[in-house]
Structure 1
Amino acid sequence: MSAYLLLAAAIVSEVFAEAMMKLSNGFEKKVPIIGIAIGYLIAFYLMAQTLNELPLGFVYAVWTGAGVALTAIIGAIVWDEGFNAKKAIGIAAIIVGVVFLKIGV
């Protein structure tokens, strides 16, 4: 499987784990904790696999940047946490930064 597809799957797994963390209500609800553990285990495993083909700096920047952006979007859509111009600019800055890292690879 392509390293980029593995990285995308790692990002989705991380965002899933973060959504489960929100659902756990500060670890008061126990069932979502299983989702947290599974999501992060899959995310770290898949990210480690991408490092066989892609450089660490790029992988980590994409993983964290896309994770932050997707988590903010999901928070706005699912939990009505709001989405404004400042958040949009922040997400755009993350994307630009990742593009610059890729250009330097």
Structure 2
Amino acid sequence: MIPYILIGVAVIVEVFGDSMMKLSNGFQRKLPLVGTVIGYGIAFYLISLVLEELPLGPVYAAWTGLGIALTAVVGTVFWKESFNWKKGLGLAAIIGGVVMLKLGV
């Protein structure tokens, strides 16, 4: 159960890092840049712990797929980016792919 919780936390801190990257204005603003490095650093560390117990393929698929989905939600909610049926379909395909990989293990 712990590895799955760690994947969830890794996704959240990665999305935090993504958001800080957007705030950094092309790495011109230093404080958000520090947030980017911290977010990605923690995410990679947590995924390294998960990989001690779970196989690489499904872990990486879950981490990146859920990260993409949550980043799209954050972009829509906080950055007022557009969201349409094509983006929704793409996210559904990503999540479906992650589920299929998990079922194959």
TM category (shorter chain) comes to over 0.9
Any runs of at least 4 consecutive aligned residues in structure 1 with deviations exceeding 3 A, and if so which? none
Give the equivalent residue in structure 1 for 2:91.
91
Tell me how large the CA RMSD over aligned residues is: 0.9
The residue matched to 1:81 in structure 2 has which SS?
Answer: coil
Code of the aligned partner of 1:62: A
Q: Runs of 5+ in structure 2 lacking a partner?
A: none
User: For 1:69 and 1:95, how far apart are their aligned partners in 2?
Assistant: 8
Note the 1:60-71 alignment, pairs <5 A. 60-71=60-71
Note the 1:1-105 alignment, pairs <5 A. 2-105=2-105
Measured after TM superposition, the shift of residue 76 of structure 1 is 0.7
User: For 1:88 and 1:54, how far apart are their aligned partners in 2?
Assistant: 29
User: For 2:88 and 2:53, how far apart are their aligned partners in 1?
Assistant: 31
The residue matched to 1:75 in structure 2 has which SS?
Answer: helix
Normalized against structure 2, the TM-score is what?
0.97
Measured after TM superposition, the shift of residue 14 of structure 1 is 0.5
User: For 1:54 and 1:82, how far apart are their aligned partners in 2?
Assistant: 35
Normalized against structure 1, the TM-score is what?
0.97
Question: Percent identity among equivalent residues?
Answer: 59
User: For 2:3 and 2:66, how far apart are their aligned partners in 1?
Assistant: 16
The aligned length equals 105
The residue matched to 1:43 in structure 2 has which SS?
Answer: helix
User: For 1:72 and 1:14, how far apart are their aligned partners in 2?
Assistant: 13
Q: Cα deviation per residue 1:7-57 (whole Å; 9 max; x = unaligned)?
A: 111111110000000000111111101100110110000000000111100
Q: Runs of 5+ in structure 1 lacking a partner?
A: none
